[in-house]
Structures are given as C-alpha cells and as structure tokens.
Amino acid sequence: MGMGKELYDLSEQARTLFELANEILGFRITDIMFAGTDEDLKQTRVTQPSIFLHSVILANVLGDNFKPEMTAGHSLGEFSALVSAKALSFEDGLRLVAARANAMQKACELQPSTMAAVLGLDDFTVEDICQRISDIVVPANYNCPGQLVISGTIAGVDKACELLTAAGAKRVLKLNVGGAFHSPLMEAARVELEHAIVNTEIKAPVCPVYQNIDAKPYTDPALIKHNLIAQLTGPVRWTQTIMHMLEDGATSFTEVGPGNVLQGLVKKVNRHVITESASLQ
C-alpha cells in the first residue's frame, strides 16, 4: 500500500488534512504518495512534503494518545517536531517544507555535490580529516556513535573517503543524494528559506523542541526561528540530541512517521531505552 494510504483510508481527519495539503501545494501529492513509482517519490518537491505529511497527520490523528514531553526531528523532521509541539501550524509547516525542498533543489543545481556515510570511526577523527581537506567537506549528520555522514563538493568528499578509509573506517559509502545537504553549499537555500521562516508565525511550543544545530531544547520562538534558518548549512547533531534528551529525563521514544530508522539510531546511543513506532492500531 502506498505511503500514507492506510492513514487516509482510516481517518476522516487525516483525509481532510491530506486534501488541504493538495490545495496548499497546488498539485495532488496524495496521488503520488499512494500510487506513484519510487522515481516519482524521489523528486525533492515530493519527498520532503510526503515525509512531513505522513508524520504530522499521524501525530494529529493520534490526538490525546500523543502528548510528547519533548520533541526532536532529524533534518526535515525538525519541522514535523515543531508542528507536533504546536509551535508551527500544519499549513505553515507544509508551506515551509515545500519552500525548503524547492530552495534545496535549486542549490543542488548550482554546483555538483554529494554526501557519504562513514561507519566505524569516532567523530573527532572524521572532523579532523575533513578540516585538513582544501575542498569543501564537512560533517553533516551525527547519526549515532560510529555513524557520521559527511557532505561537500564531489572532489572534497572523494578525498575524504580515501583518507577516512586509510584511517580505519569500517566502511565509507557514497550516498545517492541530490547534493551536499547540511553544508556551506546550501547557503543559497538558507538565504532563500530565511525570508520564508522570518515571515512565518512560530509560537512557544507546548514542550521543549531539541533542535538540530546544537542539540539543545528550545521554547523561545525567536531562537527557534534562528536555529531553523541555521539548520540548512549546519550539521544535524542527532547523537548529541538523544544524549541531551536522556540526560533531561527521557525514558522512551516514539517515532512518528514512515519507517523506524530513528529508533535504530536511538538504540545505538543507548540500547536500554524503550523505542516504538506510533500507530493507529
């Protein structure tokens, strides 16, 4: 069954939100989500809004069964986390996600760039090697201990892959992505999205939102906006986010949205913590 289709079929509330999304986006994203090919879903203008919609509509439909004491989202998921924490409306969140997708697509077209996953090395070694390379290459996603994604120019990432392998990485894997997300090469997208974020209403959330840029909890709307703008060119500090949430009293994590990748990453930070997927059942 297509992405989000079960949600659409089970809930009148979900159907209303999906149809509202079609209106806001100006095309029927539900047709692509429910019946599109993998190739259709890989289009940036489709991928990011689709993941966002699945996450926030599921959280919305859960109603009183979903009352987080703290929220966080990985990269794009930060927008879903803000909507779930009622800092951002569904409509504004979707508009920002669509603007983000379009801005990132344009930035990708300005300069060929890429990303690579580095497995089995400590963060310091990866950071040190990236700093020694003259081309642009930076740590982009601190996913969990021993898994860090780097991002930059093709030459920079290729050189880093070579040096990281020599430094003892278990595996270095080039990723099939459109560009160097969470790196200085997204500066054009950051500038474009900054205008949209500045002009969007963000309220104080009902619970702290741990933001990617520094892994710390925020409730101040002005600071949330500042961090959201910085996110496009800065790293996703997911490892540090989970560590901070655990230090602040988190005992269980519920992943809301498609897949269960984040649960796996949380377990790599602390294997004893309880994780689950949000479900309508």
How far is the C-alpha of 129 from the C-alpha of 278, rounded, in Å? 39
In terms of residues, how long is the chain?
281
C-beta separation of 119 from 173 below 8 A: yes
Residues 43-48, mean pLDDT to the nearest whole number: 86
Residue 244 annotated to the active site? no
Q: pLDDT above 90 covers what percent of the chain?
A: 85
Closest CA to 182 of 215, 128, 141: 141
Mean pLDDT taken over the chain: 95
pLDDT digits (tens, 9 = 90+) for 183-216: 999 999 999 999 999 999 999 999 999 999 999 9
DSSP class per residue in 53-80: HHHHHHHHHHGGG---SSEE-STTHHHH
How many angstroms separate the CA atoms of 29 and 191, rounded?
Answer: 26
In this predicted structure, the answer to whether residue 154 has a pLDDT above a threshold of 70 is yes
Domains of the chain: 5-109+184-234 (3.40.366.10), 113-174 (3.30.70.250)
Compute the average pLDDT of residues 36-42: 86
Residue 18: count other Cβ atoms within 10 Å of its Cβ: 22
| Listed range (20-24, 101-105, 224-228) with the worst mean pLDDT | 101-105
Give the pair of three-digit tokens for residue 174.
């080039």
Label residue 34 exposed, middle or buried (CB < 10 Å: 0-12, 13-18, 19+): middle
Q: Of 75, 80, 113, 183, which is the active-site residue?
A: 75
Tell me the C-alpha distance between 266 and 98, whole Å: 28
Predicted local confidence at residue 261, as pLDDT = 94
Q: Which residue out of 11, 182, 183, 244 is catalytically annotated? A: 182
Region 251-264 average pLDDT: 93
What percent of the chain lies above the pLDDT cut of 70? 99
pLDDT at residue number 1: 55
User: Residue 281: its pLDDT value, please?
Assistant: 62
To the query of whether residue 75 is one of the catalytic residues in this protein, the response is yes
Structure confidence at residue 132 (pLDDT): 97
**Is residue 87's pLDDT more than 70?**
yes
- 23 vs 16: CA distance, rounded Å: 11
Indicate whether 10 pLDDT > 90: no
pTM of the model: 0.95
Predicted local confidence at residue 64, as pLDDT: 83
